[in-house]
């Protein structure tokens, strides 16, 4: 292993089971973690719902998920409290209603140890000997209050304008229909503004 860095890390089972997060993380998930400068366990499980919902929504529409576009709609809370980070919608800009879960305090006690396979680029959390995202809790997470629309590329501006026209999308529906194109299309046709 490069630099003898331990490529193993813990992950909340609730995030893996409830939201279908897979290991290795997707490039978008790793980009969010790197952008926020937080470890995956630093984000509250319900906040993972917004990350996954956005990613599934983009994928089902044939769009590449963008960290900048995601943070146009969502921001962080509690970054200075030394505890879990909340991701929540900016006023008037949410894509999804709050995610209600049936896991309670038990999520803090249920972990899986994830171990990368040395030398395998599809499982490794390293690139050029450096982690692709923080593996341990950080003391300097990024507070995100919004994303400057004017500084976005024209493509990202168009994507924001397109997504702002959507009605609220039910994350449970996205999770349940992920990978089923016909079912996803039917759901979008059932949504009020389509």
pLDDT in tens, 101-155: 665 556 566 666 666 666 655 445 666 667 788 878 888 898 998 888 999 999 9
Mean local confidence (pLDDT), 169-180: 92
| CB-based contact 12:103 (threshold 8 Å) | no
Residue 72 CA: distances (Å) to CA of 43, 101, 140, 156, 182: 18, 24, 21, 10, 29
- Averaged confidence pLDDT in the chain: 82
Mean local confidence (pLDDT), 166-185: 91
Has this prediction a pTM greater than 0.95? no
């Amino acid at each position: 292993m490069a630099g003898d860095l331990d490529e193993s890390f813990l992950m909340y089972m609730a995030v893996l089971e409830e939201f279908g997060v897979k290991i290795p993380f997707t490039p978008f998930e790793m980009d969010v973690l790197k952008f926020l400068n937080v470890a995956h366990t630093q984000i509250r499980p319900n906040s993972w719902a917004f990350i996954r919902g956005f990613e599934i929504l983009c994928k089902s529409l044939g769009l590449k998920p963008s960290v900048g576009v995601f943070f146009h709609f969502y921001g962080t809370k509690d970054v200075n409290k030394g505890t879990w980070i909340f991701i929540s919608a900016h006023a008037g800009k949410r894509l999804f209603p709050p995610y209600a879960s049936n896991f309670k305090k038990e999520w803090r006690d249920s972990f899986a140890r994830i171990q990368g396979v040395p030398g395998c680029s599809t499982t490794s959390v390293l690139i050029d000997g450096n982690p692709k995202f923080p593996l341990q809790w950080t003391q300097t997470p990024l507070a995100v209050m919004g994303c400057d629309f004017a500084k976005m590329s024209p493509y990202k501006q168009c994507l924001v304008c397109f997504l702002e026209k959507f009605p609220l999308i039910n994350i449970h529906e996205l999770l349940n229909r992920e990978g089923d194109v016909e079912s996803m299309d039917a759901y979008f046709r059932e949504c009020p503004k389509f």
